[in-house]
């Protein structure tokens, strides 16, 4: 049986949080389980942890502050995140990083908060799930300052250039691929790059509810992307890599288990 892990689901977003039971169930029917609930600030990190307690082995979560919310960081943030990291269902720090596309928080504060979270991940020996948009040079410079002390690091929703991909692979990062590659407007460059990602460094994700694959047919009635669509993304990536779907799915699943420290035997979904 082919199984999938959606490594980035914004399950507490307004577009998803009212249908959590259905989303988890529909994903599991497509062998997408567990789901990794990613957090965007400290409060959401707490909520994500509490949610995971209601769905053991079906949900795991991250704890961190997204660059959009970097201005919310305060003297208690690091302590709260460290406490959350003690929970067995909290499997990574993040989502943290830099976003110079929207600049919802000042760039200097983004860099400071990103570095603080990488330092915390090093102290806790936790893997880190990261975000980067239009900020590669500063992003990779900060990552490389801490990389030797980080157990594992993942750049989720990669949408960068060939040179940026090479720099990330040189830093031994895992690379998360979304339905961005299915967008004929924005995803053409990424489509040429996915064959260059080593088998042991690639992961698949929806970033639900965002980035619904535009090439899906029949097209879903809602524009809301869902974890149940992850197999379509894996199939699209496999075609670009000229790789059997089952082989790529196996690597994505195993890489995800290795990164988040999950036991694949305990995660098996009944066929």
DSSP SS3 for 45: helix
For the domain with range 4-260, which CATH number is right: 3.20.20.140, 3.40.1360.10, 3.40.50.10090, 3.20.20.150?
Answer: 3.20.20.140
- The residue written with tokens 């079906």 in the block is 58
- Maximum distance among all Cα pairs of the chain, rounded to whole angstroms: 49
Angle at the Cα of 181 (from 179 to 187), degrees rounded to 5?
Answer: 125
The pTM assigned to this predicted structure is 0.97
At 200-248, the pLDDT tens digits run 999 999 999 999 999 999 999 899 999 999 999 999 999 999 999 999 9
| Token code pair at residue 48 | 């994500």
**Cβ atoms 203, 175 nearer than 8 A:** yes
Query: pLDDT value at position 271?
Result: 53
Q: What are phi and psi of 164, to 5 degrees?
A: -70, -40
pLDDT per position in the chain (271 positions), as tens?
A: 899 999 999 999 999 999 999 999 999 999 999 999 999 999 999 999 999 999 999 999 999 999 999 999 998 999 999 999 999 999 999 999 999 999 999 999 999 999 999 999 999 999 999 999 999 999 999 999 999 999 999 999 999 999 999 999 999 999 999 999 999 889 999 999 999 999 999 999 999 999 999 999 999 989 999 999 999 999 999 999 999 999 999 999 999 999 999 998 888 765 5
Distance CA 130, CA 132 (A): 7
- The residue written with tokens 């960068």 in the block is 160
């Amino acid at each position: 049986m082919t199984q999938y892990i959606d490594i980035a689901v914004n399950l507490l977003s307004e577009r998803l949080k009212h249908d959590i039971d259905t989303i988890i169930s529909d994903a599991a029917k497509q062998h997408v389980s567990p789901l990794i609930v990613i957090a965007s600030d400290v409060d959401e990190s707490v909520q994500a942890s509490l949610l995971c307690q209601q769905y053991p082995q079906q949900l795991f979560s991250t704890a961190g502050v997204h660059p959009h919310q970097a201005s919310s960081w305060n003297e208690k943030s690091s302590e709260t995140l460290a406490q959350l990291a003690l929970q067995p269902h909290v499997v990574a720090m993040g989502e943290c990083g830099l976003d110079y596309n929207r600049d919802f928080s000042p760039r200097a504060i983004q860099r400071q908060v990103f570095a603080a979270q990488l330092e915390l991940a090093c102290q806790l020996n936790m893997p880190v799930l990261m975000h980067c948009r239009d900020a590669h040079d500063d992003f990779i410079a900060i990552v490389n300052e801490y990389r030797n002390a980080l157990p594992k690091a993942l750049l989720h929703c990669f949408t960068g250039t060939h040179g940026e991909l090479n720099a990330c692979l040189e830093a031994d990062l895992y690379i998360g691929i979304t339905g961005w590659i299915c967008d004929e407007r924005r995803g053409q460059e990424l489509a040429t790059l996915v064959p260059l990602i080593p088998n042991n460094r690639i992961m698949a994700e929806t970033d639900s509810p965002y980035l619904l694959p535009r090439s899906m047919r029949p097209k879903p009635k809602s524009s809301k992307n869902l974890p149940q669509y992850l197999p379509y993304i894996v199939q699209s990536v496999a075609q670009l890599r000229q790789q059997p779907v089952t082989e790529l799915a196996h690597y994505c699943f195993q890489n995800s288990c290795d990164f988040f420290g999950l036991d694949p035997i305990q995660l098996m979904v009944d066929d």
